[in-house]
Amino acid sequence: MMLDAARRLIAPSRRSDVPPFMVMDVMAAAAKIEAAGGRVIHMEVGQPAAAAPRAAREAARKALDSGPLGYTETLGIASLRARIARHYQETHGVAVPVERVIVTTGSSAGFILAFLSMFETGDRVAVATPGYPPYRHILRALGCEPVPVETTSATRFALTGAMLKAAHAKTPLAGVLVASPANPTGTMMTGEALAELIGVAEGLGIRVISDEIYHGLDYAFPAVSAAQFSDRAVIINSFSKYFCMTGWRIGWMIAPEPLVRPIERLQGNLAISVPTLSQIAAQAAFDGRAELEAIKHGYEENRRILVEGLPRAGLDKFLPVDGAFYLYADVSRFTNDSLDFAKRMLQEAGVAATPGVDFDPTDGAHHLRFCYAGSAADMHEAVERIGGWLKRG
Ligand SMILES: Cc1ncc(COP(=O)(O)O)c(C=O)c1O
């Protein structure tokens, strides 16, 4: 009895019981191989190999040497918010009032702020499967209910208005989360598809969150923003991917006007403000376009190497490689257990990839996600290694 009482004093809450990333197992195994002197081609971690653009690093260096770097306004440094607003005019031809721009600690913090400001506990939010797992896990930790909706190649692995209607008819939804380009699939929604989904959602009273973190990394066709179709949708974005600033932990959101003050209150209480050095660097990153476009062209070349090379190596089934820096390969010809397959590919071929089970509890056992944000030389070597390994059986 005493023991039980003592145990309760140190027991974690039920809401903290979110699943870990299985890819961590693959990363740990890769680190072991490297510690023993082996070479691993890393295609498991979804981040750019390149550093932040030079302009961002120089601005940060200057700020470090000259200022106290105190807190900033909770919604972000005014000049950075204005620069982000201008970005929508330049990229999408949409006027986004600067008052609706909120700087966040990566898009990860954006999700917490969006979910807290939009939903009550118990609210149901539709998310596509396969999809980025933290959508589900953050919702769950905050007391909301993620509603996974299976997608297929028929819709480019995106939710449609019809799918949303069907899910809503079963049990009412309060929200829907869309992502294009998407992780892990690397597929994109066309402008028509996104407009249709937003139209249906808003017609049903379902609030839309659009994760646009992979914007800028579009190859098949230009990515469209939910801002082009609605000023009621909440848009989440980040400097992590296109701008190569994962570790700087900086992102932004565009919120409808009535949500801005609640989000300001939440962020003020949860974090006071966003790291000042990162805000300064992020604003300067907009001046690093030439460098960033060159990096993007590198991804395009990597994409070409994999799309041509992997079928020759034996991996001939994958989803349309539209954007972001992911290729989602169907490995059902070889396995029913993508985690085991990923571990063996790492041990025997020295190529690390992410098992699909991280993104899709059902069909993920048949898929592997490859990140192609590394070097072209690594892509060529990965194709050779995988080909040799699959041929050896
Ligand atoms: C689809 C998607 N959304 C959001 C994030 C979170 O990124 P960050 O918090 O660095 O902006 C990631 C990171 O991999 C992602 O893949």
Task: Give the tens place of pLDDT for each residue, 148-157.
Answer: 999 988 888 9
CB atoms within 10 A of CB 372: 26
pLDDT at 16: 92
Instruction: Quote the ligand 1 centre to 108 CA distance (angstroms).
Output: 6
User: Tens digit of pLDDT for each residue in 243-265?
Assistant: 999 999 999 999 999 999 999 99
> Please, which pLDDT band fits residue 270 given cuts at 50, 70 and 90?
very high
**Ligand 1 midpoint to CA 134 (Å):** 9
Cβ-contact 212, 235 below 8 angstroms: yes
Q: Is 240 in the pocket of ligand 1 (CB under 6 A)?
A: yes
CA of 107 to the centre of ligand 1 (A): 6
**How far from 90 is each of 54, 63, 85, 237, CA to CA, in Å?**
22, 27, 9, 16
Per the CB < 8 A criterion, the answer to whether 157 and 330 are in contact is no
238 CB less than 6 Å from ligand 1? Answer: yes
Quick check: helix, strand or coil at residue 213?
Answer: coil
Cα(242) to centroid of ligand 1, in Å?
11
Specify the residue for token string 């973190």: 213
Q: Give how far the C-alpha of residue 262 lies from the chain's centroid of Cα atoms, to the nearest Å.
A: 24
Q: Binning pLDDT at 50, 70 and 90, where does residue 172 land?
A: very high
Tell which atom from ligand 1 comes closest to the C-alpha of 246.
10
Cβ proximity of 131 and 182 under 8 Å: yes
Q: Which helix (H) or strand (E) is 385 found in, with range?
A: helix 376-392
Q: What average pLDDT does range 6-20 have in this prediction?
A: 91
Q: How confident is the model at residue 156, as a pLDDT?
A: 86
Note the pLDDT tens digit of each residue in 335-370: 999 999 999 999 999 999 999 998 998 899 999 999
CA–CA separation, 259 vs 250, rounded Å?
A: 20
**Is residue 215 pLDDT above 90, yes or no?**
yes
State which of 183, 209, 248 you would mutate to test the pocket of ligand 1, scoring each by most atoms of that ligand within 8 A of its C-beta. 183
Per-residue pLDDT at 26 = 85
Please say whether the beta carbons of 190 and 159 come within 8 A: no
Residue appearing with tokens 């680190």: 31
What mean pLDDT do residues 219-230 have? 96
Q: Are strands 354-355 and 367-371 parallel, antiparallel or unpaired?
A: antiparallel
How many angstroms does the Cα of residue 213 sit away from the middle of ligand 1? 6
Bridge partners of 210, per DSSP, are 178, 235
